[in-house]
A and B are shown apart, each in its own frame.
Chain A
Amino acid sequence: MSDIKEVKEPSIYDFRDEERDEDFYKVDAGLTEDIIREISKEKHDPEWMLEFRLNALKVYKEMEIPDWGPPIDGLDLNNIVTYVKPKTKMVGSWDEVPADIKNAFEKLGIPQAEREALAGVGAQYDSEIVYHNVKKEVEDQGVVYTDMESAITGKYEQMVKDHFMKLVPVNDHKFAALHGAVWSGGSFVYAPPGAKVEIPLQSYFRLNAPGAGQFEHTLIIVDEGADVHFIEGCSAPKYNIANLHAGCVELFVGKNAHLRYSTIENWSKNMYNLNTKRAICEEGGTIEWISGSFGSHVSYLYPTSILKGDHSHSEFTGVTFAGATQNLDTGAKVIHIGKHTSSFIDTKSITKGGGINTYRSSVEIRPTALYSKASVNCGSLMIDSESRSDTVPAMDIRTDTADVGHEAKIGRISDDAVFYMMSRGMSEAAAKAMIVSGFASPVSKELPLEYAAEMNNLIKLEMETG
């Protein structure tokens, strides 16, 4: 079972447009100080960023690969072209986006965000922002939504410098260090005090070149009393060369601020997704994570909430679907520091076709976190006996005033339910897909309508294949 073979059957994500190599600018495979300098120069980094990258490279070389999770030996970092830049420049409207890129989006069924009059759309093509548009009403509130490159060289440079990789330090783990050295692209959001962004800010990422890695950095700062919803959608066509995604998301939630961070990840089935996401909440702040993980060959993903301020709160709602060839290790971490902090984790895992699913979490309640509450609820659904599903939740409680509850369940689709639905004329596959969608509904019902529809389509397709 440790040997996960390449599937032969074409999956719906296997399409790709024939992009020729000359359209791309590549750095040499492998990672040296020269490459880092080259990247930095190309990005027009300020001096401090170059130094930051070089230091991160040093840390990266010293650190070990994690020994407790899914194997990543299929990943040969020395042969990964870490930086690919399409020749397209920043554009201001949907019409200017090149047709082949538009086609790829369309085939992936990405909602027509522009037409839906949604807020700022920053669509990332490979490692670079190719499309960026911020709606006027968002700007009117003083909200800044831009790509990281612009933020770091523009008037928000100091703010970026004060926050960049402060929450996820480069020595956090090997892939955080790698990210620090080669990061490229991503989004920057700053919501000033009291700003209420009613429409979600959206950003699409995808990987679309053989051997390309993607290291986008997302930095969101929500100031006192502000309210933001950010949606990140990921998808990528499939290639035979191992792909690596080591993004980093840092979220700063100010006093009494509220941030909802939604993600649908649907990477191609050969992707190594080693992503790091972390949020810190000041007094009375709330972070809400909505997370759907469907794609990738291997995932390590545990969004972390640090509840620093008194009365701060975090909620994590996640669903992970692991099918054939997939080994997805996902979950959440919460660190309670402030008094009267509270956290809820609600996750669902679905496993089929020989996939491996691990729910992994830790809830830490520090001695200072008096009168805190934490609740963890995880459910696993096994679709067949070739698959594997593990639940590995850790709790570390260091104050007797805390109130902690945990519940986990594993099981299968009930035959009775399938029989009942089939007796009303549904096919077995349709009945099962419907039951699985219902099981995953805690996530889909938290998503905007078009994303929920996309997620249910994904479940349906995943249930019908194989």
Chain B
Amino acid sequence: MSEYILDIKDLHAGIEGEEILKGVDLRIAAGETHVLMGPNGAGKSTLGNVIMGNPVYKVNSGSMIFDGKDLTEMSVDERAKAGLFMSFQNPLEVPGLTMDNFIRSALRERTGKAIKIFQFKKKLEETCSLLDMDEAYVQRDLNVGFSGGEKKKAEIFQLLMLEPKFAILDETDSGLDVDAVRIVSKGVDIFRKNGGTLLIITHSTRILEGLNVDATHVIVDGKVVKEGGAELVETINAGGFEGLKNE
């Protein structure tokens, strides 16, 4: 058993006819918060999607071990049941399916047990109050008519309700208003304090303020070109990604 909850070795992946990840190595220990940075088109979102198993991407070679299990052999829902979570940049809309029904179905599938309504309701209420969200919100149809900010909040809400071991937050801070950023940061903080492991994919750093970052990885052109601690975020803030490519 690896000491890392996620252990990626020499991962090559991409879409048909184009390799986007050209040998990625990434290790994350349980309970840590890692940041994945890189310029546009470097492969950040691809990496998140490949870990989660988006069928749009094909893994050509390499390995991904999550919590002792080989991810490449697992379907998307199996990965979710194993404790993986990814926040979507564009969460999908389902008219007629309320958010609370959706989360309850997901929990039932993940645990394989019937959900006790009372406990579930209590948790919904608690989570709403933790995130300063109106409870009426969870009765709305999933993501239907949600603003950009509301969609992101709904993703964070699901993160706290589903309690995965490991969450990939994909550019969750882009295009958010101040209120949404605050709620997202709060949600992330709660998730961390409860022992969750985080991989935050971003090219800006607003969401990272006040967050205890354990490690930073910089991806350029499909490869991790630099790794470091929280201080690397500052370096990139000051100097950008230029120069990192050649190291």
A–B contact via C-beta, under 8 angstroms: no
Residues in A lying within 8 Å of B, measured CB to CB: none
